[in-house]
Structure 1
């Protein structure tokens, strides 16, 4: 037996030596593991970066396992998640680990960014490290949003509709952005395919690349020392001062500074597992149905504050806030190390920085709490019980009256106004018959487009025919309906609005 063990060890050593001579990783790994760091960085304040990377690995592993079962199609996405929840052994736990891991990852990344900001770790010479961190935060939020869409339940459907509506407000390129996101004019199979590619390939690939570069910069520039009051960052002398600090009071990263990272990362994974076991996976809730407007779609917790802000903002300020506030916020984060990259690091002597963090934390907490009971804006059931004005159905044919019943029953007025009353989410339908032809109306009802969901699967062909017949009556007396320009007009008629736009619906 001793000879057998010695032989196995010899074979293993020869195999290792053969691989090492070709890849030569031992030197860089030893250098990274044993590189000296300031003794005061072996602190619980410095564990969040490693925990975020651990959670990213958890998301990659659980995401790969989920992708083996998940079907990114409009018809099977919802059922494949239910299959995981109810029919596959521990499938629900796998989904719960992935979902709660996402929540924890967003929280840890945000906490890490706050800690870096308060400790002045964005200052010289770590400007690029902070810049990468900002983009990694955006990628983390992108993974969270695309993951929620892939649940493809009622919340995901309407949440994606709201996201498309926001994107459509971007000047000049809004239409193309919506088409790029949805893969067409409606939320369907192409939409899920694109979000699946973003969630599984594009965003994780970028995030992993950024993480590798981020770690490389940390190893190259060193871990930011614990900020002491009066320790001023001066670009001309910082590198020399840091080298002297690590030489006089430095410790090897492994094992002296690593054990706290390992302990905290293990605790975070345990917390994720406990939440997954105790609370289960997120959704899916009801199947996506655009005709069910008695809904209050709410995003996951990290986006809830936006939900509350939009509910309380006046309608006239929604678009400026959505288009301007994120741009300003990201620009400030990116410009921070280049504008304030010198001077004091300690948060004890940076009261403005502390005030900013406290203010943002209170605002985020307040709006997140308000979002738990704030009604959705716009109110989608405001006109559900109101009947159409009598003059609109007084002289109509039976088919057109049947269309008015469909119009009322499907609560179209909650999004569209008619005769001066109704919702403002979609354009007014007074005169829609002069802007869109019969074929365009049919296509818009069935396929949707812009901010309007598709109703092709929720209306029978007779209902569509009746509804379009009623819509064709919505024009002022004496006005001719829109017609296809390829068809000749009857004698005495003039083409009016023959080239109606889909966005007019």
Structure 2
């Protein structure tokens, strides 16, 4: 024991940690806060540590490459001992972390813990919530299976709608116009380095402010927050009716965190890891990609919205929601904390919770897009290729082989995920058709890497025949003007 004491003294003389650790461990908190209602913050931090630990182990095996990502996850599932359990712990830990962070934010809101002097603590918490969702989204992409590929395509199409910077944003997101190896490298860097690093910094600041400003007292009706008196009142309460954080409050945090970890382990053991499902292949479109449960509500909302409202909702609603959350402590930083005297806050929380639960439930059976039940084995209607050129008929073969009618209907037969193509030649010029096939857009994936140049040429020539009889196809007005200008001098020559 004397040797251990000497070793401890050697380190303590150089690190000087004993005083700040004792201050943090023994700092007094109001007795009412040593409650089971105050355990969600510590549980969220515990789950963050779990995600970092399991993520480091997974990163030793995972290969962020378009050709190797799926194989590395499949190897973890079936070849490495307990690899499946490690993946399952990471996946279920992500689910639990999102849920616990949401519950913690709701508890802080209903307890009025965002009010003075904890405004910045709340703002950091909002950013931590956004980072948690960012971790969840990037983690789903790294599975790089069929659902992840299509889901990322939908996410890119949403990002492309941002005015002015939509195109550069998609390029930055995907590392180019296509989903491939560069895309995975970027999401791997975000998921493993950028977001976790920022979360650790923000979590450290968050905990520091909790230690310095104290844990929010139990909200009592009539105990009003005033900027000029609150700090003095809180310090008096903490010293007169306070208990040391350890062990009076800490043991509940410890017990609840252990229970959460046990629940994650049980779910991982019973239900196993998420995917990966089939290897990503943009030519196989018999899939209805759905996000993980924390984004299912958005999936349902977009499926119910009219098409003309999708873009305004996607671009405006999240910005408004985040701004409201960030401005809340600055606008309502004083006054009552008790939910008994804040009926509007209770109504808002109940409305948001019920709406989120309802849309999440609807998303379990609501399609992302309209019906997609066409059988691509049916031949292209003969009248569409009866009098066409060999090149256009070859395009019809490509159209058939690539299962385009699983999403698009022609002559009234086909899927309804995408628009009908009977009049596509009157809406899009040749250049626009080529761009749509190569780069995709909306819910359509990019086929630039799965079609050869001759196949693209043939397919576009076939699509150019899809227009009503005797109706001209779409033309590029700028090109027609250029032709007219070039023809005018020639016509003037004798």
Determine if the TM-score, normalized by the shorter chain, exceeds 0.5. Answer: yes
Instruction: Say whether 1:181 aligns with 2:173.
Output: yes
Pick the aligned partner of 1:348 from 333, 340, 354: 340
Matching residue of 2:241: 249
Cα 1:221/1:72, change in 2 over 3 Å: same
Q: 1:167·1:174 contact (CA, 8 Å) conserved in 2?
A: yes
Cα 1:190/1:327, change in 2 over 3 Å: same
- Using the TM superposition, give the Cα deviation of residue 14 of structure 1 relative to its aligned residue in structure 2, in angstroms: 3.1
Instruction: Say whether 1:377 aligns with 2:385.
Output: no
Partners of 2:236 and 2:420 lie apart in 1 by: 68
- Using the TM superposition, give the Cα deviation of residue 23 of structure 1 relative to its aligned residue in structure 2, in angstroms: 2.0
Cα 1:389/1:343, change in 2 over 3 Å: same
Partners of 1:24 and 1:472 lie apart in 2 by: 77
Pick the aligned partner of 2:6 from 9, 14, 24: 14
Q: 2:29·2:243 contact (CA, 8 Å) conserved in 1?
A: yes
TM-score normalized by structure 1?
0.87
Partners of 1:169 and 1:385 lie apart in 2 by: 34
Question: CA offsets, 1:295-320, max 9 Å, x none?
Answer: 11111111111111111111111111
Q: 1:432·1:471 contact (CA, 8 Å) conserved in 2?
A: no
Cα 1:458/1:83, change in 2 over 3 Å: same
Instruction: Say whether 1:291 aligns with 2:286.
Output: no
Instruction: Say whether 1:110 aligns with 2:105.
Output: no
Question: CA offsets, 1:100-154, max 9 Å, x none?
Answer: 0000000000000000011100011100000000000000000000000000111
Q: 2:426·2:472 contact (CA, 8 Å) conserved in 1?
A: no
Instruction: Say whether 1:430 aligns with 2:421.
Output: no
Structure 1: segments with no counterpart, 5+ residues: 1-5, 495-505
Matching residue of 2:139: 147
Bigger drift between 427-436 and 18-27 goes to 427-436
Matching residue of 2:491: none
Partners of 1:480 and 1:149 lie apart in 2 by: 37
Instruction: Say whether 1:163 aligns with 2:133.
Output: no
Question: CA offsets, 1:349-372, max 9 Å, x none?
Answer: 111111111111111111111111
Pick the aligned partner of 1:393 from 385, 389, 408: 385
Instruction: Say whether 1:198 aligns with 2:207.
Output: no
What SS does the aligned partner of 1:186 have? coil
- Using the TM superposition, give the Cα deviation of residue 468 of structure 1 relative to its aligned residue in structure 2, in angstroms: 4.1
Matching residue of 1:3: none
Matching residue of 1:46: 38
Bigger drift between 209-218 and 376-385 goes to 376-385
Matching residue of 1:365: 357
What SS does the aligned partner of 2:425 have? coil
1:465-480 equivalences under 5 Å are 466-471=458-463
Q: 1:170·1:323 contact (CA, 8 Å) conserved in 2?
A: yes
- Using the TM superposition, give the Cα deviation of residue 221 of structure 1 relative to its aligned residue in structure 2, in angstroms: 0.4
Partners of 1:158 and 1:337 lie apart in 2 by: 39
1:86-125 equivalences under 5 Å are 86-125=78-117
Pick the aligned partner of 1:322 from 314, 326, 338: 314
- Using the TM superposition, give the Cα deviation of residue 384 of structure 1 relative to its aligned residue in structure 2, in angstroms: 5.5
Q: 2:85·2:273 contact (CA, 8 Å) conserved in 1?
A: yes
Pick the aligned partner of 2:270 from 278, 283, 287: 278
Q: 1:472·1:481 contact (CA, 8 Å) conserved in 2?
A: no
Matching residue of 1:331: 323
Bigger drift between 163-172 and 451-460 goes to 451-460
Partners of 1:252 and 1:400 lie apart in 2 by: 81
Instruction: Say whether 1:217 aligns with 2:212.
Output: no
Pick the aligned partner of 1:37 from 29, 41, 64: 29
Partners of 1:213 and 1:241 lie apart in 2 by: 24
Bigger drift between 308-317 and 399-408 goes to 399-408
Q: 2:392·2:458 contact (CA, 8 Å) conserved in 1?
A: yes
Q: 1:446·1:456 contact (CA, 8 Å) conserved in 2?
A: yes
What SS does the aligned partner of 2:289 have? coil
Bigger drift between 365-374 and 100-109 goes to 365-374
Q: 2:372·2:417 contact (CA, 8 Å) conserved in 1?
A: no
Matching residue of 1:308: 300
Cα 1:179/1:295, change in 2 over 3 Å: same
Partners of 1:185 and 1:93 lie apart in 2 by: 35
What SS does the aligned partner of 1:232 have? coil
Partners of 2:196 and 2:272 lie apart in 1 by: 24
- Using the TM superposition, give the Cα deviation of residue 33 of structure 1 relative to its aligned residue in structure 2, in angstroms: 0.7
1:225-240 equivalences under 5 Å are 225-240=217-232
- Using the TM superposition, give the Cα deviation of residue 42 of structure 1 relative to its aligned residue in structure 2, in angstroms: 0.4
TM-score normalized by structure 2?
0.89
Q: 1:185·1:450 contact (CA, 8 Å) conserved in 2?
A: no
Partners of 2:22 and 2:392 lie apart in 1 by: 80
Matching residue of 2:492: none
Partners of 2:166 and 2:419 lie apart in 1 by: 16
- Using the TM superposition, give the Cα deviation of residue 464 of structure 1 relative to its aligned residue in structure 2, in angstroms: 4.2
Partners of 2:119 and 2:25 lie apart in 1 by: 24
What SS does the aligned partner of 2:264 have? helix
Q: 2:429·2:475 contact (CA, 8 Å) conserved in 1?
A: yes
